[in-house]
Every structure is written in structure tokens, then in C-alpha cells.
Structure 1
Amino acid sequence: MEVKKMNIALIAHDEKKEQMIELTLSYKNYLKPHTLFATGTTGKRIIEETGLDVHRFKSGPHGGDQQIGAKISENKMDMVIFLRDPLTPQPHEPDVTALIRLCDVYAIPLATNIGTAEILLRGLSKGFLDWRKLRRNDIL
């Protein structure tokens, strides 16, 4: 089965960056055919440790979450994996909340923990998210 190329955002709070690296290493072959985006440090770590091609935005506190949110509002993002740390206050919490809200508004699949991220990536490899490609084409 041919997998349609998707735009995938990868974001991880500081306490979750190691999990993101483990996830991207484990699912490297699932991610490789797609266009990957990430916030600053997360993207840098993914590139260094996996060799995947990742377009880097600014770090989250410096507007990276908002840059990804803009892509979502333009219907140019198909999936978001945001490994967030719910136990540590974030200085840019309003941006985090806005990003999650945008995923809901635009029906973008969103994982905020490693378990859901794995399910989305496995579904992606099976073509379960192909409806995003159809929806993206209809709206644009």
C-alpha cells in the first residue's frame, strides 16, 4: 500500500525530549517518507540523533508553537505529536493551549503522550490518516 506524504509536527517539552528521540528512532522508517516540522531544540535533537530531515521553527517559548499553529490554521499540517509535560508550568502555556485548540478546530490528529503517538504513527503507516490528504485538497 502506498503511503501518502503527510506534514507532521514534532514538539517536546524539555522533560519529554528523550521520549521524543526514542519515538523518532523507533519509528524512523514510518516518519522518513513524510515532511517533518519541529520546534527549535526538539528539531535539532531529532536531526542530530536520527538523521531525519526536519524543518525547524523557533523554540516553543520564542514562537515555534505559534508558527506550527499558523500552519494548522492554513490547513498545512496533517498530524501533531506534542509530547508535553503536564507537571511542569510552561512560560508559554497560552501558546500550548492555543495549539491544542487549533488541532481540535481543524480536526488535526494530535498526540500529547507517547502511547497516543505510537498509535497515530502505526495508523499512518497503514493509511488510516489518508482522509487528511483528501480533506487538505478539498479545503485548499
Structure 2
Amino acid sequence: MPLTLALVAHDRMKPALADWVARHAADLAPHSMVCTATTGGVIRRHSPDLAIRTVKSGPLGGDQQIGGMIADGEIHALVFFPDPLAPQAHDVDVKALLRIALVYDIPAAFSPATADLLVAGGLLARG
């Protein structure tokens, strides 16, 4: 059964997420991805063959939209590369997204190393 993954990254981390997606494009291809708007645009430029749906940008409510999708059971895993060194104007929304991922106990990765472990652990092989 194909999964739906949420992919989100703060501005300085978008290239790292796009690189991670490109490295795992073959594993991701059978699945659907939902991204905040700007993140989705960066990923599309690096991996144009992947099916990517976008929601609003994070500061405009995209994090909340993804949180709602997690609560509705539409998202099966979250890959979120936050920038730990830069303050975020929408920090409350980011914390709410992290909280909802924990409440609904979905697999979540917050760095390339942990995202690699999700792949190595067979999460994407379910597709």
C-alpha cells in the first residue's frame, strides 16, 4: 500500500531535504508526498518525476494543514528538516506540527541521518 509522506524544511534546510529526496527518489516514487509550498517547489526542481502535492507555505498555514492531515490519518510519516540555528516567525505552528506527529505516533525524522534510518528500516518498502 503506498504511503503519504509529509516533507517540510526551513529555508536553509531546503537544499538538504531536496538532496535527501533525490538520493531516495527510487524508494519514494511509489508513494505520495505532501510538502509546504516553497519546500515542494525546491524538491520538484531537483526531482521532477516524483508526485508532489503542495499546501500553503509554513508561515501561511501549511504546517497546520499538514498537521490536520496527520490528525485525519492521511499522512503516514513526516520528514521535517528544521533549522535549529535560525528563529522562525511561525515557531508556534512548527511546535504544533511536531506535537501532532507525536500525538498520532507517526514515524518522523528531523535530519538526513534519521530520515536515512526510516528508509533503511524499511518504511518505504511498504509501498
Q: Which residue of 2 aligns with 1:24?
A: 21
Q: Which runs of 5+ in 1 are unaligned?
A: 131-140
Please say which structure displays the higher CA radius of gyration. Answer: 1
Q: Which residue of 1 aligns with 2:108?
A: 110
State the identity as a percent: 39
Q: Would you say how many aligned residue pairs link Structure 1 and Structure 2?
A: 125
The answer to whether the 8 A contact 2:37-2:56 is kept is yes
2:63 counterpart (62, 65, 80): 65
Q: Which runs of 5+ in 2 are unaligned?
A: none
SS at match of 2:34: strand
SS at match of 1:56: strand
Moved over 3 A (4+): none
- Cα RMSD of the aligned pairs, angstroms, is 1.2
| Deviation string, structure 1 residues 16-43 (Cα, Å, up to 9, x no partner) | 0110111011000011100110001110
Task: Tell me, in whole angstroms, the C-alpha distance in 2 between the residues paired with 1:122 and 1:77.
Answer: 20
AA at the equivalent of 1:125:
L
SS at match of 2:113: helix
Q: Which residue of 1 aligns with 2:7?
A: 10
Task: Tell me, in whole angstroms, the C-alpha distance in 1 between the residues paired with 2:19 and 2:99.
Answer: 27
Q: Which residue of 1 aligns with 2:119?
A: 121
Q: Which residue of 2 aligns with 1:136?
A: none
Q: Which residue of 1 aligns with 2:81?
A: 83
AA at the equivalent of 1:116:
T
